[in-house]
Amino acid sequence: MKYGIVLFPSKRIQDFANSYRKRYDSHYALIPPHITLKYPFEADEGQLKEMTKELRRIAAETEPIPVKVTKFSSFYPTSNIIYLKVEPNDVLERLHQHLHSGLFAGKPEFVFVPHITIGRDLPGAEYADVYSQLKLQNVHFEETIDRFHLLYQLENGSWTVYETFVVGGKETV
């Protein structure tokens, strides 16, 4: 089974992102707007118990996560992905590291550039046109996120949440 780990920003950021994703993101219907912490990885269902235990441990050691969205940006020329830039910070960086060491060891596929994708798979000309407009826009959101989620992928490519992990040990009653 394929798993992934993400943050969901607040509803207001998700609604803002979706207003663009609807037109520009081929994954619009597959998953809500998110910040990827760990890209899709294969794991056996038998490992789930151990994985969730470890994720609870990591969550308990993680502080509330500052999320500051500052502009539209793009991975061009690596890819045509357009995204909302999330400013890096120590909490995000450490959480990303924890999700790529120990039980979750494995070199990340990419350098960690926290972001919320809002466009992908656009033909070159459309990409250039859309991005040239968006990059001029002012964007500013600031919030604190207190949870992350382990998801699994269905056959149609969509993602279902398996479990939520509240940071700072608040997951206990």
Q: CB of residue 14 vs its own copies: minimum separation in angstroms?
A: 5
- Return the number of the residue (9 or 114) whose C-beta is nearest its own copies: 9
Binding site for its own copies (CB under 8 A): 1, 8, 11, 14-15, 18, 22, 28-29, 32, 53, 56-57, 60, 147, 149, 152, 154-156, 158-164, 166, 171-173
Q: What is the rounded distance in angstroms from the CA atom of residue 136 to the CA atom of residue 71?
A: 9
The CA angle 135-141-147, to the nearest 5 degrees, is 120
- Return the number of the residue (2 or 135) whose C-beta is nearest its own copies: 2
- Return the number of the residue (46 or 124) whose C-beta is nearest its own copies: 46
Q: CB of residue 49 vs its own copies: minimum separation in angstroms?
A: 10
Q: Which residues are catalytic?
A: 34, 115
Q: CB of residue 88 vs its own copies: minimum separation in angstroms?
A: 24
